[in-house]
Structures are given as structure tokens and as C-alpha cells.
Chain A
Amino acid sequence: MLHNLILIALFSPLLSSIVSALFIRSPKKLGIFSSILIGISFISSFLLFVFYENSFSYSLFDWLNVGNFKLSFGVLIDPISLVMINTVTLVALIVHVYSIFYMDEDKSINRYFSYLGLFVFAMMILVMSDNFLGLFFGWEGVGLCSWLLIGFWFENNDNTKAANEAFIINRIADLGMLMGLFYIYWNTGSLQYSEVFAQIPNLSNTTITLIAMFLFIGAMGKSAQFPLHTWLAKAMAGPTPVSALIHAATMVTAGVYLLVRSNEIFALAPSVNIVITYLGVFVALFAASMAMVSNDLKKIIAYSTLSQLGYMFVACGVGAYWVALFHLFTHAFFKSVLFLGAGNIMHACKNELNIKKMGGLYKDLKVTAIIMIIASASLSGLPFLSGFFSKDKILESAFSTGYLDIWILLLLGAMMTTFYSFRLILLVFFVPSKEKNSHTHDAPKYVLYAMGILGVLSISAGWIINSFEKFINIPFELNIEHSTHYVMILITVLAVIITLVYTICKYKQPIKEPTSKINTILKNEYYIPYLYSNIFVKLYKKIAEFLYEIIDQKILDKFYEKLAFSVFNFGIVLRKLNTSNLSIMIYFVIVGFLLLLLTNFIRILL
């Protein structure tokens, strides 16, 4: 029964993808069908959670059997994967429903659903696999779907470029991941989680550190950590529901999932943990600072995602893996609903993305506005919303492991989060609008209900924090005294509320933001994209040009030209044999037959 549920949960997204792919040219819209299949997948995942007793591994079939290397394609059901599959399928379900509305006018809507279904399938494999190779398979699968979906409107060259950038940067990181996997196999002789983790304590320190480092490089690419972060903001070129599903809730958190999954490796590599922690803090602040000045609706949310991923990495770095997973879980809900709200706004404003040109949308988009305010409040960590519990837990974990500096920096990050979230809300919904756009309208009711589910979860998902900790069962001791604990919470809440009040006061009226130097640097994303294009891209281009002009054109092409011409010249000689007279050809045939016989004859004589 459980096995059947696993199969249903895993393969109904694939079925949705295949069926949609078959109807790509048909005008019939398959959105509802796909949503139902994803819904089935969600229900099975939820039932798996309900009936869960002990973690177990279920082998579907033998995948590879080469020499000593044996690998079965298996599924591992344990608390981590259960949390992941439920989050993934729930958000995917709502994004599917939302897409029915959002992509309605697009003529290749079936292609869209086909990609989306494939993405969910790959993501399920990623989180359910019981070995590193299956994880890598899903890892590449989601990368592919991300590429397909970012470049979904490939008629526009910019979208294609953004898709390629995302894909190429992910390739760089995947090389690290792949090396990590090779290194694991080299040292433990297996890729099965259970066997690998059993062997890890026997390895030398440097080996573990190297493995952890390589795996972390892989996680950095997928989760868009510095210095591989540039693709995430550009990935917003894809359809907005895609941003909600892939680039906020699920795929980008795969890196965090990898860290949580292989926590037994990382727990033994303290030096890597320090790197992870500081990099996480850096990214949290770095991305938040860019979000503070950006004027692009989707980019702000994208940077905010980046910043929250930084928080998750900090949690992983200090060893609080269940906290990281918990933040992943709550973040998935409020971030995806923020993106979906952004989609509503774009739909109402005819794909306008500049928040400076919006304003006063509250009266037209009341429901969207309320949901987005809730999500933003949750993201900022206002008390008793889900983000409050998870983010606060990260701060506490950092504090309790002795990183006071990190606690302060994260607090600063939380204030920045509040600032940019409510700056967005105020500029979009409340600032009096300069232009009168009268015919804006909210999304249809079923979409709002679907978003409402996520809105409710943004409020309530945090309340289960204690049972969540017990369920995940990766021990992490918080040794903070109660009084300190309360003071810390108070400080955090006060800081957030002060920032909130400040933001509201500042953006009550449309103001001109100062164009200081810092502002320019932030708006240009610290000039990192320019730096990359000047250093790496130009260097690469020069190497490529050298290879093309010298090696390819002057050496290889010449060689093959000669080869081709020699065949051609030989052909000119042979052409004289063809007199086009069939009777002469028959003579050739028979003489050839005779020669064949003669060789046999001679062989027999000898």
C-alpha cells in the first residue's frame, strides 16, 4: 500500500508531463488535468506522511550493475524526504492551479504544463532518491526544467540568454557536485546514503573536508549562493508561476536539502561548516542590500529568496539542520505566494515590472494585497507568523553556538528584509499612483482561493515548530537560558517593528530615492555581472576565438579538407570505370565472384 502510494506520488507528475507533451499542438487546454494529477501526487504524499511509522527504503529496480558497482533505483522515505515531498507537491499543486489562470492566453500552454510536470517529477526524484546518483539525476532534471521554463518565451532573445546563464552557472557547480560524488564513491565504494554515512566516520579528516567542500559547491550553484548567484535574478525572465515554484519554493532549496540530507558528512567537517556559515551570512546581507534599492518587482522577491537561502545555509553551518529544513518549509509557502501575488500584479498592470510606476493598486487588488501583506509580514518575521518562528530559530541557533557576530549580522539582515518587503508593498499598493490605470482587475476567485491556502500556511506553518523538531529528529541542542531567550526575541521583534514603522513613514508618499554612490553600486548589483562578463566571459571568448581561428580553421579544417579532397580525387580516377553499361557491370560482378571462389579454392588447396 505504501509502495503504491510512493509510485503514485512519483509518477503522476511524469504522466501529466507526458500527456501534456502529446497535446502540445492541440488547442485543448490541459491545465485542469495536470492540476488533478499533481493533486493526486500531493494526496499520496500526504497519505505517506499520515501512515508514516519508520523510515524505509523501497527499491524500484536495479539501475546500474557494472562490475563491482551495484546501484538500485530506490526511494527513501524518512522525515526529511516526507517534508520535502509534501512541500513540493503542495506548492506545485497551487502553482498549477494558478497557471491555469496566468497562462490562459498563452498558445503553448500545454508545453508549459508539460515542462512543469517534468519539473515536479525530477524534484520528487531528487528528494526521494535513496542514493546520491538518483539525487544527481533529479538535480540535473530540475536544472533542465529550469532552463526550459526560464527560456519558455524563447522568442525573446533576452529570455534565452537568461536561461543559458542559469544553465551554464549550474553546470559549473554541478561539476563540483559530480567530483564530490566520485570522491565519495572512490572512498566508500558506494553511493547509497545508508552505506556512505556508515563509512564516513572511518575516513580521514581531509577526505571528509574535500567531500563536504565539493558537495557544498554543488549546493552553492543550485541555491545561487555567492559567487554563483547571478543567475537567480535573471531567471525571473520566465513566467511568474515558474519563479514561484522553481526559483523560490523548490529547486533553489535543493542545495539546502543536499546539506540537510548529508548532514552526517558535514557534521564531521567543521572547517567547511565555518565557510558555509559565513558565506550564508554574507549572502543574506548582500542579497538583502540589493533588494533594498531594486525597482523591479520580481527581482526584489528574487533577491529576498537569495537572502533567505543565506539564512538557511547559516542554520546548516551551525549544525541546526532541522531549523534549516524548517525555514525551507515555511519559506516555501510565503515566498511562493509572494511570487503568485506579483503575478497578479503583473497581470493587472500588463506585465509592468517597475514598482515606481505602480501605486494605489490596493482598491483594485484587495485580496492579492492582503495575501501579500500577510506573506511579507511572515517573511519579515512579525510575531506569530510562520516566518517568525523559523527565522527566530535560526538566530537563536547562531547565538547558541557562539557566533555572536553572526547573530548581530542576521538581525541586521532581518531588518533589511522588513524594509524591502514593505517598501515593495507600499510602493505597489498604497502610494498614490501617478498614472491613472482604471481597468485593473483582480484574478478570478479560484486562483485567490488557491493563493489563500498558501496565505493561511504562511500564517500557521510555524505553529508546528515543536512537533516538527521531534519529527525530523536530527539532534541539535540549544543552550540558551530562558531569560536571554526572551530578551533576544524581544530585541528581534522590536527591531523588526521599528523598521516596519520607519518604512511605512518613509514611503507614505512617493519620494525620490537619493542617487548616492552606494545606491548606484547596489543598483548595479555590486558590478558583479560586469566583472564576470569582463573577466570570465571575455577571457573565455578570447580562448574560444584562438581555438577557432588557429586550431580549428588553420589546422583541423585544413587536414580534413585534404582528406576530403584526396577521396574526391580518387573518385575522379575511379569514375572512368563506370561506363554506365550494365553488361560490363555484370562482368565485374562475375569476375568478383570468381575471385571469391578462387580465394576459397586456394585455402582448401593449402
Chain B
Amino acid sequence: MYEIIAFYLFSSIILALFYIVVTTKQPVFAITALASGLIFIGGLFFLLDAEFLGVIQIAVYSGGIMALYAFGFMFFDASKDIEERTSANKLPFVLFVLVCVILNFLLISPKIALPKPIVEIDTNITNAHQLGLELFSKYLLAFELAAILLLVAMIGGIMLLSSKMDKSWTTTPDDEIKADS
């Protein structure tokens, strides 16, 4: 009972918040709604017994990624209203409904029978423990690659945004550096 209540509560909040994200004209509303929506998705993860991912969701998504967006926002004028697309206002909604209906139909149609669980999740070890075992044995290479990807993304972000990163300070004459700064 408590689970059902939690699920419906969370899902209605999530849907409402995300709807605000895609429709509101004020960027600050959008970012706040998105952040809270993501936290509630983390809540759903907890409901699904995936505690580790729930924590990651809140920490990385709502904490890290949203902070990044917030910083991004500082460069733009946040108080200005966002312009909406004026033409073809109906078409997005039509497509939205169509995709939604068909996809749902596909998912719950009886012809797509979900396979029976192969391995029961061992309740003796925690979710984080299990995920760790999986990540560091079977998916070790992918894990390392993801780490490299993040590193590359970090360096890429720094390179793109900081000016004169392509110049070497050791080879530039001193007076030029002074003139620049």
C-alpha cells in the first residue's frame, strides 16, 4: 500500500515538473523544476531497490549536472523570457500523443512477454556491492573507457572555453603576456 501511494505520488509530481520544464517561459522555473524532477526519479529508484543508483542520481544528476547548467545560465540573461516556436504549434502535440500511445501500446501488448527472471537478486548482499562486483569484473573495460570519456570531456570543456589555451606561456615573450593580461 505504501509503495503504491509512493509510486503514484512520485510519478504525478515528476510528470508535472517535467511538463513545466518543457513549457515554461522562465528559465529559472525550468531549471528548478528539472532539478526537483530528477530528485524524484531518484526516489523511484529507491522504490525499485536500486539504492546505489538512487544516490548516484541525486548526487551526480541533481548535484553535479544541474550545477553545471546553473553555471551555464549565469552567462545568459536568465531574467529574459524564452521565446517559443511560433509556427506549427499543433504538430509537436500531435507527435507527442502519437508516439506516446504507440510506444505504450507496444510495451504493454501481450505479445511482448517479459522473460522470467533468470537470477534473483541476492538479498544478502547490498545493491551497491552487487553493482560494484558487476562493474569491476564483467564491465571493467567499459568502466575504464567511461572514466577516460569523462576525462576527455573535462579537458575538452576546459580547452573550449579558456582562451589562449593553445599558446604556450613558456615560449611567448614576457611583454606579450603582460600586454594580454
Contact = CB atoms under 8 A, between A and B. Distances in A.
A530 B111 CA distance: 81
A601 to B, nearest CB: 5
B106 A601 contact: yes
A337 to B, nearest CB: 60
B106 A590 contact: no
A597 B85 contact: no
Interface in A566-606: 583, 587, 590-591, 593-594, 597-598, 600-601, 604
A590 B105 contact: no
Contacts of A594: 95, 98-99, 102
A590 B111 contact: no
B152 interface: no
Given A597-B99, A598-B102, A604 B111 contact: yes
B78 to A, nearest CB: 23
A598 B101 CA distance: 11
A604 B106 contact: yes
A594 B102 CA distance: 8
Nearest to A600: B106
Interface string B90-106: 01000100110011011
B109 interface: yes
Interface in B103-129: 103, 105-106, 109, 111-112
Nearest to B88: A587
A587 B95 CA distance: 9
Interface residues of A, number: 11
B102 to A, nearest CB: 5
Given A587-B91, A590-B95, A594-B95, A601 B85 contact: no
A590 B91 CA distance: 11
Interface residues of B, number: 12
A594 B105 CA distance: 13
B137 to A, nearest CB: 33
A604 B98 CA distance: 17
B102 A597 contact: yes
Contact of A593 (B85, B99, B109): B99
Interface in B127-164: none
Contacts of A591: 95
A597 B106 contact: yes
Contacts of A587: 91, 95
A597 B95 CA distance: 12
Contacts of B95: 587, 590-591, 594
B63 to A, nearest CB: 29
A591 B102 CA distance: 13
Interface string B2-33: 00000000000000000000000000000000
A393 B106 CA distance: 92
Contact of B109 (A590, A597, A604): A604
A319 to B, nearest CB: 65
Contacts of A601: 102, 105-106
Contacts of B91: 587
Contacts of A597: 99, 102-103, 106
Nearest to B105: A601
A590 B102 CA distance: 13
Contacts of B103: 597
A462 B99 CA distance: 93
B105 A583 contact: no
A319 B105 CA distance: 87
A593 B111 CA distance: 21
B99 A590 contact: yes
Interface in A33-64: none
Interface of B: 85, 91, 95, 98-99, 102-103, 105-106, 109, 111-112
The 5 closest A-B pairs by CB, nearest first: A597-B102, A604-B111, A601-B102, A604-B109, A590-B95
16 contacts: A587-B91, A587-B95, A590-B99, A591-B95, A593-B99, A594-B98, A594-B102, A597-B99, A597-B103, A597-B106, A598-B102, A601-B102, A601-B106, A604-B106, A604-B109, A604-B111
Interface of A: 583, 587, 590-591, 593-594, 597-598, 600-601, 604
Given A593-B99, A597-B99, A597-B106, 12 more contacts: A583-B85, A587-B95, A591-B95, A594-B95, A594-B99, A594-B102, A597-B102, A597-B103, A601-B105, A604-B106, A604-B109, A604-B112
